[in-house]
Amino acid sequence: MQHLLTLFEIDPTELVRILDTSLTLKKRLTLGDRPPILERRVLALLFQKPSLRTRVSFETGMAQLGGSSLFLGEEVGWGKRESASDFAHVLGQFVDAVVCRAKKHEHVETLAQFNAMPVINGLTDLCHPCQAMGDVVTVKEAFGDYVGRHLVFVGDGNNVAQSLALIAAMLDMRFTLACPDGYEMDSDWLARVAKQYPKAKIETTSDPLKAVVDADAIYTDVWTSMGQEAEMAARREAFAKYQVNSALMAKAPSTARVLHCLPAVRGEEITDAVIDSDQSDVINQAGNRMHAQKGLLVWLLNRKWIDANIK
């Protein structure tokens, strides 16, 4: 059974098929065409964390594909009222797939190990594969291709940065993380990327001004993520020189695009002048979450449609 817990589970060829499907479905949607590719399919959303984009994009995307979805919060008692095996197997009797937004990556691994239904990682502390897919769809729209494009992430080497580093390796993009000492990506994660993609172009630097000199896209995220609130003061001090502002953008090419996975703390990791500028693709990027996830859902649940419609 196919799951998507990280992007390591799929190969680059299949990733491109998913992304091509996403772009095709987005184009058809703009023409008012909503093909019922997943008619009568049901998607569960099992969430331990709050969400706007992930929840709404999956629910809306599933509806546009002709299916339905249901939201499962704390009231279902996941991990509390019954064994993980019983929970997964019973849920698998009712739904065609589940999106799991979990506090710990081990939770999605546990859910997937029973192979009761396809499991999609909707965010964990380790990675955020659906976000990364929407992000590279945005890059493709901005530049027409992926290969050789330089994506610079300014900020914490967090779950989003780790997924971007991996997807960049899969698509032959360059990826640079500009961060203060002590906030680099997980070394085990990077070792795994290097082992699977030995030609990966991934760099880490402490100098954001140098990092963006030849950037195609400049990406940032909040300095303090959910669950890190006790570190807020220390993080604000550590990242003070890593704000994406007009001075930083002046060092980048005029063609560089600005990305942010949202929600943003305006005036902290990014200024209003930048996030609202003509170089910003942030709102389109958020919208592309839905389109990327529609491609993923079709790939998981109706691959025959892709074989017949995506060349």
pLDDT attached to residue 159: 97
Separation CA 168–CA 182 (nearest Å): 23
In a domain, 2, yes or no: no
Asked if 26 and 85 sit in the same domain, the reply is yes
Asked if 152 and 239 sit in the same domain, the reply is yes
In the predicted structure, residue 254 carries a pLDDT above the cut 80: yes
Q: How much is the average pLDDT of 176-195?
A: 98
Summarised one tens digit per residue, pLDDT across range 130-160 is 999 999 999 999 999 999 999 999 999 999 9
Burial classification of residue 191, based on how many CB atoms lie within 10 Å of its CB (0-12 exposed, 13-18 middle, 19 or more buried): exposed
By three-state DSSP, how is residue 119 classified? strand
Does residue 127 have an active-site annotation? Answer: no
128 labeled part of a ligand binding site: yes
Q: What CATH number did the domain enclosing 191 receive?
A: 3.40.50.1370
Q: pLDDT-derived band of residue 231, with 50, 70 and 90 as boundaries?
A: very high
Task: Tally the domains of the chain.
Answer: 2
Q: pLDDT-derived band of residue 227, with 50, 70 and 90 as boundaries?
A: confident
Q: How much is the average pLDDT of 152-174?
A: 98
Which residue type, as a one-letter code, is found at position 294?
A: K
Separation CA 67–CA 58 (nearest Å): 11
pLDDT attached to residue 133: 98
Q: Which residue has the tokens 């795994």?
A: 192
Handedness of CA 125, 203, 189, 119 (dihedral sign): positive
Element (H, E) at 84: helix 84-94
Mean pLDDT for the chain? 97
Asked if 152 and 277 sit in the same domain, the reply is yes
pLDDT attached to residue 228: 86
Does residue 128 have an active-site annotation? Answer: yes
Strands 217-220 and 150-154: parallel
Helices first, then strands: H and E counts in the chain:
13, 9
61: its two tokens? 């995307």
Asked if 157 and 258 sit in the same domain, the reply is yes
Q: Which of 128, 149, 174, 235 is catalytic?
A: 128
Does residue 289 have an active-site annotation? Answer: yes
Which structural domain range is residue 21 located in?
A: 7-127+289-309
Does residue 93 have an active-site annotation? Answer: no
- Per-residue DSSP letters for 185-225? PPHHHHHHHHHH-TT-EEEEES-HHHHTTT-SEEEE--SS-
Q: How much is the average pLDDT of 170-193?
A: 98
Asked if 136 and 117 sit in the same domain, the reply is no
In the predicted structure, residue 189 carries a pLDDT above the cut 80: yes
Cβ-based neighbour number of residue 178 at 10 Å: 26
Summarised one tens digit per residue, pLDDT across range 196-221 is 999 999 999 999 999 999 999 999 99
pLDDT attached to residue 225: 86
Separation CA 141–CA 237 (nearest Å): 35
Asked if 20 and 88 sit in the same domain, the reply is yes
Q: How much is the average pLDDT of 272-290?
A: 98
159 labeled part of a ligand binding site: yes
What share of the chain has pLDDT > 70, as a percent? Answer: 100
pLDDT attached to residue 130: 98
Does residue 100 have an active-site annotation? Answer: no
By three-state DSSP, how is residue 266 classified? strand
Q: Which of 41, 101, 149, 260 is catalytic?
A: 101
6: its two tokens? 């990280």
In the predicted structure, residue 226 carries a pLDDT above the cut 90: no
In a domain, 254, yes or no: yes
Burial classification of residue 188, based on how many CB atoms lie within 10 Å of its CB (0-12 exposed, 13-18 middle, 19 or more buried): exposed
